[in-house]
Chain A
Amino acid sequence: MSFPRLGLGLGLRAQHAREILRRRPPLGFLELLTENHLGAAPARRAQDDALAAAYPVVLHGVSLDVGSVDPLDRRYLRAVAELAERTRARWISDHLCWTGVGGRKSHDLLPLPYTEATLRHVAARVREAQDALGRPLVLENATRYVALDDSLAETEFLARLCDETGCALLVDVNNVHVNATNHRFDAFAYLDALPAERVAQLHLAGHAEVDGRLIDSHDAPVAATVWRLFEHALARFGPVPTVLEWDASLPALDVLLAELRKAEPFFARAAEPPRAA
């Protein structure tokens, strides 16, 4: 499956939906938070339909639970497939993580130990989810606040997962920076180690520092260091579709649009054909 180059997009938040429909700002696409639109009330469904008619849509979920030892939730997968069909979603993404066990949910993205056994477990579930959804998944690198007993580097884990399942990657550049700072590794080397041909999408977001640790808070503008990483990512992966995420302390739509516009020059440079030597 090829992933269309949709340009720069916005992570849709309910507070901005009406304004977006009214003003129709120039956006390459919208990223809908999957769980907020599943089984939605008629008014929300009508709004989703209008948004999907106005912009290309992609789905971004947090509840696939691809790393959990619980069985995959077939009811959830059916609902996601139905939503994807209704909104003509270009692709469906979620996170490389687990969120619950024993039928109980934390609604947080919890870390996986990167081992051969975990890779076998996750690969089997990615294949199962892809079969149910009828399309390849796009998986995001999550933030990790805990150091676990890994036998594989995250980049190797992701690359092998893509090879074994045909899934693609959503690289959250802010998460790379947060993890690199908290766990002291080279963020640029991390990006260089990812399989470029598998990267379908990028995320940009802001973070916060709490008690000497960076937190993926989605409540601030994109940091200067993350813009530099973004530029490096685009140089390596090409102008892959990029979404700005902002959740807490959500500002006015114009603030988000202005923040997203900062990505345009980086994007334009990445889209230029290489110069002849």
Chain B
Amino acid sequence: MPPEPTEDLARFQRRFFALVVGKRELPPDAPPGVEVHRRMYRLRLERELAREFPATRRWLGAARFGRVARAYLATHVSRSFTLAGYGAALPRFLARESAAAAELARLERELALVAAAGPGRPRPGRLGPALRLSPAPGARLVAFAYDVERAYAQRGAPRKRAVRLALFQRGGAAVRLCIGAREAPLLAALLRGARLDRAVAAASRAGLGPARIQSTLAGWLADGLFAPHAGAGANGRAASPRRGTGRGAAADRTKASSSARRRPASS
């Protein structure tokens, strides 16, 4: 067991730390040079927030984002040995500044979590109605109150419009896929680990026709949102219709997925 630290050293560290991270001006008796540590502390954390939220920073502008970042770090002292994830609370913090920016920051935070996700456990099961599909690492369905995809893809400011994105890992990067309102229950059920037949039943109740269900599932498999079953045989072929048979929301999926391929997001 190491000896107890001396009270002198503990007192020195508590005072010095308060000077480095403190919000107030340095007192006149602060040791010369402490302002270097203070400046580096702020610069490092501001850079980390800019690294974690590049799209939010781009949309808000560097000056406005810088003001938000300084306000954030004045109230959020790191408690982790790693800087990664320092901005975990920024989306909620940003809500006071801009609801749209907060939603965009939430997308970036979710993408970072997806990129960091480990491989999921394959869901065992035989091909057939009782099959449970195995999602890609980090796969999740996230609803936003603003069209964050538009801002993330630099097509304009996020409009107030409910959107759902499937976020998942492909080739080591986090990718985004727009999900239509009627496809969302199907995806949510599959991500929860529901049996294929039950997920399909839920989708039917949500108003999705059999052809649309088939094309949607085929699209998700082709996009890598779900892993193809290792034993795919006759039944697997039956579940893989030609691409492009869907319309409406399915067309949204195709467009968004090709966009996601061009601009895979990674953290």
Contacts and interface: CB of A to CB of B under 8 A. Distances in A.
A98 B13 contact: yes
A84 B116 CA distance: 20
Nearest to A41: B116
A107 interface: yes
Interface in B109-130: 115-119
Nearest to B48: A107
A65 B17 CA distance: 13
Interface string B215-248: 0000000000000000000000000000000000
A44 B266 CA distance: 11
Nearest to B45: A107
Interface in A127-154: 127-128, 144-148
B77 A105 contact: yes
Interface residues of B, number: 43
Given A46-B172, A108-B44, A117 B34 contact: no
B2 interface: yes
A38 interface: yes
Interface of A is mostly: mixed
Contacts of B79: 103-105
A35 interface: yes
A257 to B, nearest CB: 25
A262 B168 CA distance: 45
B118 A42 contact: yes
7 contacts: A43-B173, A101-B14, A105-B81, A108-B44, A146-B34, A147-B33, A210-B36
Given A42-B172, A102-B14, A105-B81, 12 more contacts: A35-B83, A35-B84, A38-B82, A42-B118, A42-B169, A43-B171, A69-B5, A101-B13, A104-B17, A108-B44, A118-B9, A145-B36
